[in-house]
Amino acid sequence: MSALREPEVDLALAREHGLTDEEWRNILEILGRTPTFSELGIFSVMWSEHCSYKSSKVHLKTLPVDGEHVLQGPGENAGAVAIGDGLAVIFKIESHNHPSYIEPRQGAATGVGGILRDIFTMGARPVASLDSIRFGPLDDARHRFLLRGVVDGIGGYGNSVGVATVGGETQFHPCYRGNILVNAFNLGVVEADKIFKARASGAGNPVIYAGSKTGRDGIHGASLLASAEFDDTTESKRPTVQVGDPFTEKCLIEACLELMKTDAVVGIQDMGAAGLTCSSFEMASNSGTGIEMDLDRVPQRAENMTPYELLLSESQERMLLVAQAGREDEVCEIFNRWDLDAVVVGRVTGDGRMRVRWHGETVVDIPVDPVARNSPELRRPTSEPRGLREQQKLDLTAVAPEEDPDEALEALLDTPNLGSKAWIWRQYDQLVQGNTVIGPGGDAALVRIKREDGSATDKAVALAVDCNPRFCALDPYVGAQAAVAEAARNVACTGARPLALTNCLNFGNPEKPEIMWQFAEAVRGMGDAARVLGTPVISGNVSLYNETDGQPIHPTPTIAMVGLLEPWERHAVAHFREAGRPVVLLGENREELGGSEWLALRRGVEGGAPPRVDLEAEARLHDLLGRAVRVGLVDVAHDVSDGGLAVALAECTFSAPDGAALGARIELDDGIRVDALLFGESTGRVVTTTDDPVGLLELAAEHAVPARAIGVTGGDRLRIGRPGGAPPWIDRPVSELRDVWAAALPRRLEVE
Amino acid sequence: MKAVVTVMPKQEVLDPQGKAIQRAAGALGHAGVQDVRQGKRFEITLDAADREKAEALLDELAEKLLSNPVIEDFQVESIEA
């Protein structure tokens, strides 16, 4: 047994741990003494931006989190909403940006693993994943490598663990050159009265560690350790990237769900960021209790691990749970049957303190609440970025009109942002578990809900994830509103009613007032939109410091929306299904080109004000869609977003899952400039088809939604033009447009 | 020249393949198999002016192509004329 040799703890070491002088003084006051090395590690991770949300909390508090169907809002592993008949769905989105940049395959894989654990920790069976991923331009070999690795990692983990990846979004922009984004979403199904929470109640109850063994994975402050006069452990022994094991995760899912059918579990929490430390503190703090732990009992993969390492390791596929006293053998037996380690590592106490022993020595003895709850809350200064007002000004008269709309459409469909993402999602298992009604490629995914016993229901959930970072850079308030509105609109296009959302807020360095301003504005926009659309924010994640060499990413508040559709058989799809169907446009075409793909691609300008968002009109539009699909008035609905109306219409003609093409003849006579009409990205618009245009227009009028017939499906060409005999602006065989669109990613990736 | 390069997961990185083999060994009744780590072995034939140049080439190859230095270590085991 080796004696513990630890560095001397002082202010300098605290600073190296990222703690401020004020935080150091707080620690001394809380403890009434100098912390041990392990205690310092605990304070530094618990009060880190990642675990404490210290910069963001003050803003996040303003978000609407309640609703009659909300069973669990932010603060637990994930949020929960009731979907009727005693069932609930649990969902969350989370970032794994930095690890994915360092090691794309494992970084993305462990991102998927982490979000799955957040879901089944609460007692739900994970049924569907989405992934929102962003990279630099694909002419950069490094970003081709990153995209391949991330997609491989998502597929490798998700496919192996048996959870369908049913959708997502992928974008490319130079602002992500130094910081890619990997945001993973998962949704699970649970009986509403069987949701488990992170609790450690009942003094004397055993604390049980289950799952993989602990190794030296992702321990924070690795550089510090390497210089801290331990033994001569080399840097190569201290990976900051963790490797995941989906087969262990699958066993963990089944073991946990089996265990939760018994009444032996008091509370449960997965060990994610900051591992054993974060999970034990949160559980004790949630219950006003304390925990006593003996680190020698923790299953260990590496030899001679120190208490500091055991407490801060981020090894994957591990859970911490509190069981009813006397039932520990029963609990451990279930895990053992699934070939997983499970041991009692401590017990709950009533004195509100965290006491940790190692080799008979007390290495941690601190009060729980001041660490878990009284974490710092900062009001960082905000200021509008200089030059933003100038950037928002766009004199349309100075923008040369599009000379060749036909060519412009083809050029847009050929961009990686608007082109087909099939190269990506073909690598994902979209069907496992057998509930996917609409998979990737539509506006929203649609997934049937089954009970845990396998019996069917007539419910389905619609899932969509959206953000337009260019809008957010130009105006974070409007951009965040647009993200919420678009995600809800996508969900509504299936016929589902948007229920609630989860968000992943990816921003730059919050210590810069301009970044903090972007953050505050985006949260304000998201909150306003969520309130009007009646979709509370039930979970989320904040990822700050996404910048390299002082270059921040565009503000990227990713919004994942969940809606409910019942009965699921009656739903709309995003591609034209039948020839001879009238095409009806819902919403208004406005002369808005600010922040559009067209402006960036054809005029090289990323400027102007983003299209305005009329939230009340959006809410009416979503209601109308739900009603129209339910009564059978609408069988196709596709939202107009990136690339504008022409791109949306083109997508309707060729995006059928079986690759079938069905043309349309469209006539538009809005009195606005033609490029804005075809490629402007005004919000609140949906292309639909119907067999009863009169009925649909009447229903739209009832909902005060502007609507008009703009053409009819049929043939093998897409023609868009003015009414009358004038030559059309766009007149192309659908198959040609489809080939360009389909090749956008492969032709850029298949170069090596 | 003929050279052999091995690539192994870093000492402290989880090796799910090795773990699976160790478990399977247990299932075959070999409870004595306590730990398995799985790596790769590369046998490379190359044309290089001298041993020093060969070593430099192999190092570069191993670092940039044969291994993922974030989670793996490599070792040039042998070089024979």
Residues A339, B23: C-beta atoms closer than 8 Å: yes
For residues A396-416, average pLDDT: 96
> What is the domain class of B2-80 according to CATH?
alpha beta
Residue A480: the pLDDT is: 98
> Is the Cβ pair A215, B12 closer than 8 Å?
yes
A561 with A445: CB under 8 angstroms?
no
Given a cut of 90, is residue A598 above it in pLDDT? yes
Q: Which helix (H) or strand (E) holds A476?
A: helix A476-493
Residue A611 scores a pLDDT above 70: yes
Q: Does A313 touch chain B if contact means CB atoms closer than 8 Å? A: no
In A, which residues are within 8 Å of B15 by CB distance? 243
Closest-CA residue of chain A to B11: A237
User: Under a CB-based contact definition with an 8 Å cutoff, are residues A563 and A114 in contact?
Assistant: no
Q: Where are the alpha helices (DSSP H) in A162-218?
A: none
Residue of B nearest to A302 (CA): B12
Which residue is listed with tokens 């306003």? A528
Q: Is B73 on the interface with A (CB under 8 A)?
A: yes
> What confidence score (pLDDT) does residue A273 get?
73
Contacts for A61 with CB less than 8 Å, ≥ 6 apart: none
Q: Is the pLDDT of residue A475 over 60?
A: yes
Enter the DSSP assignment of B55: H
What is the total residue count of chain B? 81
Q: How remote is the C-alpha of B67 from its chain's centroid?
A: 8
- Give me the pLDDT at residue A221, please: 42
Sign of the Cα pseudo-torsion (A216, A222, A225, A230, in order): positive
CB contact under 8 A, B71 and A239: yes
Q: How confident is the model at residue A232 (pLDDT cuts 50, 70, 90)?
A: very low
Tens-place pLDDT, residues A277-311:
889 998 999 999 999 999 999 999 888 899 999 99
Whether residue A521 contacts residue A389, with contact meaning beta carbons closer than 8 Å, is answered with no
Residue tagged 């400039």 (tokens): A673
- The mean pLDDT of B58-78, rounded to a whole number, is 93
The backbone torsions φ and ψ at residue A118, rounded to the nearest 5 degrees and listed phi first, read -60, -30
Residues of B whose CB is below 8 A from A106? 70-71
A·B CB contacts under 8 A: 50
Min Cα–Cα distance to chain A from B20, Å: 9
Q: Tell me if A239 and B10 make a contact (CB, 8 A cut-off).
A: yes
Name the amino acid, one letter, at A245. D
Residues of chain A positioned with their CB less than 8 A from the CB of B9:
243
A428 Rama class: left (phi>0) / alpha (psi -120 to 50) / beta:
beta
Q: Which residues of B touch A245 (CB under 8 A)?
A: 14, 16, 19
Domain locations in chain B as residue ranges:
2-80
Q: Look at the alpha carbons of A102, A548, A507, A680 in this order and tell me if their dihedral is positive or negative.
A: negative
| Residue scoring higher pLDDT (A230 or A22) | A22
Confidence (pLDDT) at A659: 85
Contact B15 A243 (CB under 8 A): yes
Q: Is B11 part of the contact surface with chain A (CB cutoff 8 Å)? A: yes
Mean pLDDT confidence for A745-751: 91
* Residue burial A3-42, b: 16+ Cβ < 10 Å; e: rest: eeebbebeeebbebbebeeebbebbeebbeeebbbbbbbb
| pLDDT reading at A222 higher than 80 | no
Distance, CA of B61 to CA of B48 (rounded, Å): 13
Partner residue facing A103 (CB), from B20, B23, B70: B70
Interface check for B35 against chain A (CB to CB < 8 A): the answer is no
Question: What is residue B12's predicted lDDT score, i.e. its pLDDT?
Answer: 81
Q: Whole-model pTM? A: 0.93
Q: What's the residue count for chain A?
A: 752
Mean pLDDT along residues A551-558: 96
Confirm or reject contact between A243 and chain B (CB < 8 A).
Answer: yes
pLDDT of residue A241: 76
For residue B11, list chain A residues with Cβ-Cβ distance below 8 A.
236-237, 302
Angle at A474 between CA A537 and CA A484, to 5 degrees: 20
Pairwise pLDDT comparison (A620 vs B71), residue with the higher score: A620
Of A70, A78, A7, the residue nearest A36 (C-alpha)? A7
Which pLDDT score is estimated for A27? 92
Residue B70 near chain A (CB below 8 Å): yes
Does position A2 have pLDDT exceeding 60, yes or no?
Answer: no
* Candidate from A185-189, A269-273, A295-299, A468-472 with smallest mean pLDDT: A269-273
Over the stretch B21-60, which tens digit does the pLDDT of each residue have? Answer: 998 999 999 999 999 999 999 999 999 889 999 999 999 9
Backbone angles phi, psi at A622, to 5 degrees: -65, -40
Instruction: Choose among B10, B20, B68: nearest Cβ to A236.
Output: B10
Which of B7, B11, B74 to substitute to test the interface with A, most A CBs within 10 Å?
B11
Percent of chain A topping pLDDT 70:
96
pLDDT-wise least confident of A160-169, A543-552, A737-746: A543-552
pLDDT band per the 50, 70, 90 thresholds, residue A52: confident
Q: What is the mean pLDDT of residues A65-69?
A: 95
A239 pLDDT band, cuts 50/70/90, is: low
Query: What is the token pair recorded at A320?
Result: 């911490």
Partner A contacted by B12 (CB < 8 A): yes
The answer to whether the CB atoms of B68 and A316 lie below 8 A apart is no
Question: Smallest CA–CA separation between B70 and chain A, in Å?
Answer: 7
How many Cβ atoms are within 10 Å of A379's Cβ, its own excluded?
A: 10
Residue A164 to chain B, least CA–CA distance (Å)? 22
Q: Look at residue A225 in the predicted model and tell me its pLDDT.
A: 38
If you average pLDDT over residues A15-31, what whole number do you get? Answer: 91
pLDDT digits (tens, 9 = 90+) for A660-719: 899 999 999 999 999 999 999 999 999 999 999 999 999 999 999 999 999 999 999 999
Q: List Cα–Cα distances, A594 to A134, A397, A668, in angstroms.
A: 21, 13, 21
Q: Are A468 and A486 in contact (CB under 8 A)?
A: yes
Query: How close is the nearest chain A Cα to the Cα of B81, in Å?
Result: 31
What pLDDT, on the 0 to 100 scale, is given for residue A655? 92
Using DSSP's 3-state secondary structure scheme, residue A161 falls into helix
Residue percentage of chain A with pLDDT more than 90: 83
* pLDDT for A750: 84
Residue A240's pLDDT is 65
Average pLDDT value for chain A: 93
A12 touches chain B (CB under 8 A): no
Query: Are residues A236 and B15, on separate chains, in Cβ contact within 8 Å?
Result: no
- Cβ atoms of A424 and A661 within 8 Å: the answer is no
**Which residues of A belong to the active site?**
50, 96
Structure tokens at B53: 């140049």
Contacts of A248 in chain B (CB under 8 A): 16
Q: Would the pLDDT of A231 be above 50?
A: no
Contacts of B70 in chain A (CB under 8 A): 102-103, 106, 239, 241
pLDDT, tens digit, for every residue of A199-211? Answer: 899 999 999 999 9
pLDDT of residue A234: 40
The residue of chain B with its CA nearest to that of A101 is: B70
pLDDT at residue A228 above 80?
A: no
